[in-house]
Homo-oligomer: A and B are copies of this chain.
């Protein structure tokens, strides 16, 4: 069903997580009997949670902590940790920025060059802890740095940008050929954001193990006001899950994981992402509220310090509880920002489902929030 916007253009309705809700079924279940485990390639995780490669969330130390808690920490290999030896100091500087200077100061801080030896040492630190290692590069910098990353040793390689396509056109320089790149690489690749069926299908055909669904940011992003581009997440996840299903058939059985990335601020949002077909979630804002992550209550992404066209802000998300409590409770608050995994389990139990794959079939309704 599409709508006529004007005589020369028709459009589909696209839905945000806030536009929908999960509804109970006729069966209930005990939360203890519910599994949230997730397996991608050779790796099995107790919880379907990846940390977003953003400086406010993922330091080497936090990546290790998340690994130990059963998830996957993903390092941003273009952030402060690979630009500065003393990243901690620089993080403190970002946290303390005030008023009008924020954007300009961040633009300056992030203009320092990326140092290959820091990529190596940061990844080595995580590897030494015995947890799965994952690092993220943008498509623009993948060719320059991927060898360093692979040599340092990663278990999962993440290519993440605002919008990543399998077919990038450039007159000035040879663009990254994703298909060849992934084929030659030894490690599984997770790539995105993709927000539409067709974009995701093409990414799946490159051989990616997983596709990030999103348009480059959540709470801290202003993509819609600056670029006019917006891909409401419930529809985006549902469309990419549709591409997974069709590609499964087309490829004779290759299952590409769908990872929702962006707009996942509460446990309720995570529940809805999986209900719409996601296999796992990449969390920024939701983890930035931990008391022990680098942001210290602040959250920002790479869009916030773009030199010509910043498309995001450093936003205050507050501090709720330590990381472990954010994930597993007990929750000191009743607003869906802590005990994310406990809430997911209870939601699955309340609607009668016992694992994530089954839960992708739960019924949803259109029921917009009233603010």
Binding site for B on A (CB under 8 A): 1, 3-9, 11-16, 18, 20-30, 32-33, 103-104, 162-172, 175, 194-199, 201-202, 215, 222, 224-232, 234-243, 245, 266-272, 275-277, 303-304, 307-313, 329-336, 339, 342-343, 346-347, 350-352, 354, 363-367, 369-371
Contacts and interface: CB of A to CB of B under 8 A. Distances in A.
Contacts of A32: 171-172
Given A33-B171, A270-B228, A199 B366 contact: no
A304 to B, nearest CB: 7
A22 B230 CA distance: 6
Contact of A333 (B232, B310, B329): B310
A26 B199 contact: yes
A367 B263 CA distance: 15
Contacts of A311: 334
A22 B330 contact: no
A366 B202 CA distance: 24
14 contacts: A6-B234, A8-B241, A9-B275, A21-B232, A26-B167, A26-B202, A30-B170, A165-B352, A225-B268, A226-B268, A230-B367, A309-B331, A309-B339, A370-B371
Q: How many copies does the complex hold?
A: 4
A353 to B, nearest CB: 10
Contacts of A347: 227-229
A225 B28 contact: no
Contacts of A5: 15, 20, 234-235, 238, 276, 364, 366
Given A30-B168, A227-B268, 15 more contacts: A7-B239, A9-B277, A11-B363, A14-B366, A16-B370, A25-B198, A26-B198, A28-B164, A28-B168, A226-B266, A226-B267, A227-B271, A304-B334, A309-B329, A312-B334
A78 to B, nearest CB: 18
B226 A343 contact: yes
Question: Can you list the 8 inter-chain pairs with the closest CB atoms, starting with the nearest?
Answer: A6-B238, A7-B242, A228-B271, A21-B230, A225-B336, A228-B268, A14-B365, A28-B165
A279 to B, nearest CB: 12
A255 to B, nearest CB: 14
Contacts of A16: 367, 370
A201 B26 CA distance: 9
